[in-house]
Amino acid sequence: MPATHPTGLRFRRLLLTGAAGGLGRELRTRLKAYCDTLRLSDVAPLGPAAAGEEIQPAALQDGAAVHALLHDVDAVVHLGGISVEGPFEPILQANIVGIYHLYEAARKHGVRRIVFASSNHVTGFYRQDEVIDARMPMRPDGYYGLSKAFGENLAQFYFDRYGLETVSLRIGSSFPEPKDRRMLATWMSFDDLERLVVASLSAPVVGHSVIYGLSDNTVRWWDNTPAAHIGYRPRDSSDAFRAQVEARQPTLDHGNPATRYQGGGFVTQGPFD
Catalytic residues: 144
Backbone angles phi, psi at 217, to 5 degrees: -80, 145
Give the chain as a 3 state SS string: CCCCCCCCCCEEEEEEECCCCHHHHHHHHHHHHHEEEEEEECCCCCCCCCCCEEECCCCCCCHHHHHHHCCCCCEEEECCCCCCCCCHHHHHHHHHHHHHHHHHHHHHHCCCEEEEECCHHHHCCCECCCCECCCCCCCCCCHHHHHHHHHHHHHHHHHHHHCCEEEEEEECECCCCCCCCCHHHHECCHHHHHHHHHHHHHCCCCCEEEEEECCCCCCCCECCHHHHHHCCCCCCCHHHHHHHHHHHCCCCCCCCHHHHECCHHHHHCCCCC
